[in-house]
Structure 1
Amino acid sequence: MTAIYQESKPISSRQKYLGDKGLIVFIALLSAFAPISTDLYLPALPGMSDYFHVTGDLANLTLILFFIFFSLGMFVWGPLSDKYGRRPILITCLVLYIISSFGCAISLNIWYLIVFRVFQAIGGSGAITVATAIVRDSYSGKKQESVLAVVQSMIFIAPAVAPVLGAFMLPYTSWRGIFWTLTLIGLISLCGALLFSESIPSRFNGTVMQSMKKLGVVLSNRSFSSLLIIFSLTTITPLSFVAASSFIFERGFGVSEQVFSLFFALNALGLILGPFIYLWLFRHFTRSQIIVFSFIITIIGGVLVCIIGNLGPLVFSFALLPASVMTSCVKIPGTFLTLEQQKKDTGSAVALVNSFSLIFGTIGMFLISFDMTGTFLLGTLNIVVGFVCLVGWLIVKKLKVADIQE
């Protein structure tokens, strides 16, 4: 059977119930599933290992395996959303997320919790994949980039609010209460999915296997894959910080869970400001100039952490802040330029962008596990990632491997 794309009705006739503003808020909520599902219970992670009488490394598997299966899930949901549409895939994923969050809340031991976290990751991966695909479906050009920036800033509100909320929930509830909260968030998202109208402009009419093979087709696009690698590497540093943050602050610096959440929120504030800083910089500089500047600041931030990061929690937080700001700043043009290299198979392209980011982020979480309470390794990762990305970007620009819209 010949695989073709079946055209759908115009985008402007959709979103009867959500509207344009409601759609952006809905997309932001879906995109925040990864940070919400991890950062909300970060303050409870050390205490959780004590509750189950296991090591911190074993408890940390609830984070590492979450990101691994979150990444793998996107490889499946992206192509399937190109074939069956965004809405049915989204509803299926949210139902799975709700059921598995419920399972996490009632887990009797660490192994049950790990298993349910895997299924929670698989369900949540569909949410973030479809969210980015909806942006690509519904907007184009500068409007698409502006929406990506707004959504990205709202995404980073989750890491700022979630640990604070999680820490202040702990005196009144256990870590189980945090997973009950995630179940509720899943239910709210499902309500939004039921109100959402299909956004895909054309569906792939080939077989499921042909849909899955689209991942290889997109990946073989040299311009797409080169930018994919460069900008996926940038997630190594923020996710390594997420994995080690509670141990650095609570066990390394000896602060309480509540105080940790405030320091974590300070770093997340930098991530929130990044997209707004990018929109301001884009009025005065080209995308390429902003990208180069971002990588240089990341390197400088890493050097500061290595030199003075061990002097105290406040010094460490402010030393890391510049790198955090520029990591989120560079994410906007990185995502936009990468997706611009692939005009078709949006679901597959989005799946690769998101999954590669989390795969490299998971590598960062693994690397930081060699020193969970120290700051020097985290600073070193920022230096190495910033340098490698900077060199890679300059090579791509010089050799004109990709179509770079300045």
Structure 2
Amino acid sequence: MSSEKVQPRMGNVGFIIFLALLSAFVPLSTDLYLPALPTMTTFFNVSEITMNLTLILFFVFYSVATLIWGPLSDRYGRRSILLIGLTIYMLAGILCGVATSAFEIILFRVLQAIGGGVATTIATAVIKDVYTGRKQETTLAIVQSMVVISPALAPVLGSLLLTFISWRGIFFTQALLGLIVVLGAVIFQETHDTSKESISVLHSLGRLGALMKNPPFSAMLINFSAVSIISLSFISSSSYIFQVHFGLSSQAFSYFFAFNAIGMLIGPLLYIRLSKYIDRMVILYACFFLGIIGGILILGFGLNNPYLFAITELPATLASSASRPPATYLILKQQENDNGSASSLYSAGGTIMGSIGMVVVSFANHWPVLIIAIIDIVINVLCAIGLYVTLRGLRNQIKV
């Protein structure tokens, strides 16, 4: 679909905002209630690792759900699948708000993940449906720069809400967000023509395997998905690092977290500016190098002070967010069809890798900051080497 056929009911700006809201479902589903995690742990009288299951299992089931929603949207269209998933998310948010045990809230978070998995997948697929080339890459960057505002605002909003309501109100707020996006999906016009689709659902799901057999696509997918280990390990452990390890209040935590989220906001915007003059591959290698430097700075200065930790973690945060637009573009560039399936694999890959990071830091109760520094260094080194090997080994197949 050409860029002239954008949503007439929404307009160009409204369309971008709608895509940003869809893409923001994961950070809003996690960061909004991060300040409440210690309180919820005490309320249900469970361990930190038990309550962290509300995060870990969310990402696990979210990644599985994305693998299903994407192929289904290729078969039945983006709009109908979007409405089903968003409705599930909204209802699950209400159930989380009325949960009476840790088991219930973990279960309802899983349901919330299954519904929310539709959002990011469809948003990425729609961008590829509508835009091509440089316009596609810049739109991805714009949407992602708007998305990362949510990690900056969500903990602050969550802490503010906790001064007036209990942690239950946080989940009712998520349900309200779900309702707003459902209304947006109602006026959203289909971007994928399914009139020529006659294959079965199982065949649609089978396209996932076909894409993974494409060496350039699978190599890029694995390499760039690993970057999510950096961001999600920090996000999942940040409330415990600042509130438990450093002894700060939930309100103070939200400000420290917002500071690092500035890097998430600046990263994609910086990429848009730099990519006009510098090759995207050079920028990607620079991002990996900057992340390594950030990890080293944490080891040298940020282990025992919340201010120094926030400052030294900023380079890794900035680098990982700046690498997302070119990484997404390069992954999707390796295939021309099956936009929903490709988006599913990209969303799932990042979420699975990020969940690994979350599990690792969950067991690092006594040295969480040290683990964050090691992750920043190791993952960026591996990604830089992986990208170099991929470009060299598949130089005749890779599309850049």
TM range (shorter): over 0.9
Q: What CA distance in whole angstroms lies between the structure 1 residues aligned with 2:197 and 2:150?
A: 34
Give the Å deviation of 1:90: 0.2
- 1:190 correspondence with 2:182: yes
* Structure 2 residue identity aligned to 1:90: L
Give the Å deviation of 1:284: 2.0
Q: What CA distance in whole angstroms lies between the structure 2 residues aligned with 1:59 and 1:18?
A: 39
SS in 2 for 1:60: helix
Any conservation in 2 of the 1:235–1:357 contact (CA below 8 Å)? yes
Partner residue in 2 for 1:327 = 320
Any conservation in 1 of the 2:77–2:193 contact (CA below 8 Å)? no
SS in 2 for 1:38: helix
Q: What CA distance in whole angstroms lies between the structure 2 residues aligned with 1:207 and 1:283?
A: 43
Residue in structure 1 matching 2:297, options 287, 297, 304? 304
Any conservation in 1 of the 2:2–2:131 contact (CA below 8 Å)? no
Q: What CA distance in whole angstroms lies between the structure 2 residues aligned with 1:211 and 1:223?
A: 21
Partner residue in 2 for 1:5 = none
Give the Å deviation of 1:285: 1.1
* Structure 2 residue identity aligned to 1:21: V
Taking only aligned residues, the RMSD between alpha carbons, in angstroms, comes to 1.2
Change (3 A) 1:342 1:404: closer
Any conservation in 1 of the 2:260–2:313 contact (CA below 8 Å)? yes
Partner residue in 1 for 2:23 = 31
Q: What CA distance in whole angstroms lies between the structure 1 residues aligned with 2:84 and 2:8?
A: 21
Q: What CA distance in whole angstroms lies between the structure 2 residues aligned with 1:382 and 1:370?
A: 17
Structure 2, gaps ≥5 residues long: none
Q: What CA distance in whole angstroms lies between the structure 2 residues aligned with 1:231 and 1:171?
A: 39
- 1:93 correspondence with 2:85: yes
Any conservation in 2 of the 1:38–1:63 contact (CA below 8 Å)? yes
Give the Å deviation of 1:205: 2.0
Partner residue in 2 for 1:132 = 124
Q: What CA distance in whole angstroms lies between the structure 2 residues aligned with 1:162 and 1:372?
A: 24
* Structure 2 residue identity aligned to 1:309: G
Partner residue in 2 for 1:172 = 164
Matched positions, count? 397
Give the Å deviation of 1:382: 0.6
Change (3 A) 1:386 1:10: closer
Residue in structure 1 matching 2:261, options 255, 268, 286? 268
Query: Where in structure 2 are the equivalents of 1:5-404 lying within 5 Å?
Result: 12-13=4-5, 15-201=7-193, 204-372=197-365, 374-401=368-395, 402-404=397-399
SS in 2 for 1:375: helix
Q: What CA distance in whole angstroms lies between the structure 2 residues aligned with 1:10 and 1:389?
A: 34
Deviation readout 1:8-60 (Å, 9 max, x if unpaired)? x8764452311221111100000000000000000000110000111111010
Aligned-pair identity in percent equals 43
Any conservation in 1 of the 2:6–2:130 contact (CA below 8 Å)? no
Deviation readout 1:333-381 (Å, 9 max, x if unpaired)? 0000110001011100000001000000000001111214631110000
Deviation readout 1:241-268 (Å, 9 max, x if unpaired)? 1111011000111110000000000111
Give the Å deviation of 1:277: 0.9
* Structure 2 residue identity aligned to 1:50: T
Deviation readout 1:86-121 (Å, 9 max, x if unpaired)? 000000001101111110000011111111100100
Tell me the TM-score normalised to structure 1 length. Answer: 0.96
Any conservation in 2 of the 1:167–1:257 contact (CA below 8 Å)? yes
SS in 2 for 1:304: helix
* Structure 2 residue identity aligned to 1:39: D
Any conservation in 2 of the 1:75–1:352 contact (CA below 8 Å)? yes
Q: What CA distance in whole angstroms lies between the structure 2 residues aligned with 1:205 and 1:352?
A: 22
Q: What CA distance in whole angstroms lies between the structure 2 residues aligned with 1:311 and 1:109?
A: 35
Any conservation in 1 of the 2:127–2:140 contact (CA below 8 Å)? yes
* Structure 1 residue identity aligned to 2:296: V
SS in 2 for 1:204: coil
* Structure 2 residue identity aligned to 1:247: Y
Q: What CA distance in whole angstroms lies between the structure 2 residues aligned with 1:175 and 1:257?
A: 12
Q: What CA distance in whole angstroms lies between the structure 1 residues aligned with 2:197 and 2:165?
A: 47
Q: What CA distance in whole angstroms lies between the structure 2 residues aligned with 1:219 and 1:187?
A: 35
Any conservation in 2 of the 1:204–1:211 contact (CA below 8 Å)? no
Deviation readout 1:156-207 (Å, 9 max, x if unpaired)? 0110000000011111111100001001000000000001000114563200
Structure 1, gaps ≥5 residues long: 1-8
Tell me the TM-score normalised to structure 2 length. Answer: 0.97
Give the Å deviation of 1:309: 1.4
Once superposed, which parts of structure 1, at least 4 consecutive aligned residues long, lie more than 3 Å away?
Answer: 9-14, 201-204
